[in-house]
Amino acid sequence: MQIFSEWQTKKAQGKKSLAVLIDPDKASEAHLKALCKKANDGEIDYFFVGGSLLTTNRLDLIVSYLKINSEIPVILFPGNTMQVNLKADGILLLSLISGRNADLLIGKHVEVAPLLAKSALEIISTGYMLIESGKSTSVSYISGTLPIPRDKPEIALSTALAGNMLGLKCNYLEAGSGAHYSVPEKMINALKEKIDAPLIVGGGIRDTKTAKSILDAGADIIVVGTKIEKDNSFITALAKIVHTEKTSA
């Protein structure tokens, strides 16, 4: 099944998913091996691969390894136009709608569109929103944009609605990697109540309690990176929560 239609089907069934974010600069082979095992055991639903800034040339190596050794979709989560790899299954074509940097709203997309059009990658257009998270994050600094204030769910909702009216297929609330505070539940809930598009939430999820409240508030897919880089046993604990919600929903 195509990735996005799987997201829609799962959402309709009240099923939740766990995406693990892999930063190509940081992932060792041992780490990737452990992640693939967990993916093949059903603990991880999707791999997201990318980062705000890559300082090595390992993207192709990482995507190839994941494709050979795991059975789950590998989805590019590109920080810039250099992070396109045709061996992946899909790409989140991010439009940074919380910001007013024209390059990240449409400019970079123009540069990669001809390549993407010729590829077999599934293109998932995504309304990407940075949410203020207690500290300046790489994504905010690199994108040169201000995040949405965390106490303004109505701004996030209006932004997501506008993005979806413009044709973006899903929404991503991003606190930023290593965020002090994850995305507020009230904001997640505001989007869940009014928008049918699949909702992805990530940034600063370091414990199962936070993961559960984000899922309960209405996230369909949670994305976890930093904590798993340090402790991949966290995946098993997270998977129990994410996939229990599946059966209880």
Stretch that binds ligand 1GP, among 33-41, 81-89, 161-169, 175-183 (CB under 6 A): 175-183
**Using rule CB under 6 A, residue 78 touches ligand 1GP:** no
Q: Does 50 bind ligand 1GP (CB under 6 A)?
A: no
* Span interacting with ligand 1GP, options 84-92, 162-170, 197-205, 210-218, rule CB under 6 A: 197-205
DSSP state of 203: S
Nearest approach in angstroms of CB 204 to ligand 1GP is 5
Nearer of residues 62 and 223 to ligand 1GP, judged by Cβ: 223
Shortest Å, Cβ 176 to ligand 1GP: 6
Q: Which tokens sit at 226?
A: 């930093």
Q: Does 223 bind ligand 1GP (CB under 6 A)?
A: yes
- C-alpha 214/C-alpha 98 separation (Å) is 20
Between 175 and 195, name the residue whose CB sits nearer to ligand 1GP.
175
Is 102:133 a contact under the CB 8 Å cutoff?
A: no
Determine the 3-state secondary structure of 95 from DSSP: strand
Report which residue type is found at 214.
I
Distance between CA 183 and CA 135 in Å, rounded?
A: 13
Q: At its nearest, how many Å lie between ligand 1GP and the CB of residue 243?
A: 19
CB of 96 to ligand 1GP, least distance (A): 13
Compute how many other C-beta atoms are within 10 angstroms of the C-beta atom of residue 37: 15
Position 178 contacts ligand 1GP (CB under 6 A): yes
| Residues contacting ligand 1GP: total by CB under 6 A | 15
Rg (CA), the chain: 16
The contacts of residue 131 (CB under 8 Å, 6+ apart) are 98, 147, 148, 150, 156, 173, 174, 175, 183, 184, 187, 203
The residue among 128, 41, 51, 200 whose CA lies nearest residue 62 is: 51
Compute the least distance from the CB of residue 120 to ligand 1GP, in Å: 25
> Which segment (154-162, 171-179, 212-220, 231-239) binds ligand 1GP by CB under 6 A?
171-179
* Tokens at 33, concatenated: 């091996």
Query: By the criterion CB under 6 A, which residues form the site for ligand 1GP?
Result: 21, 174, 176-179, 202-205, 223-227
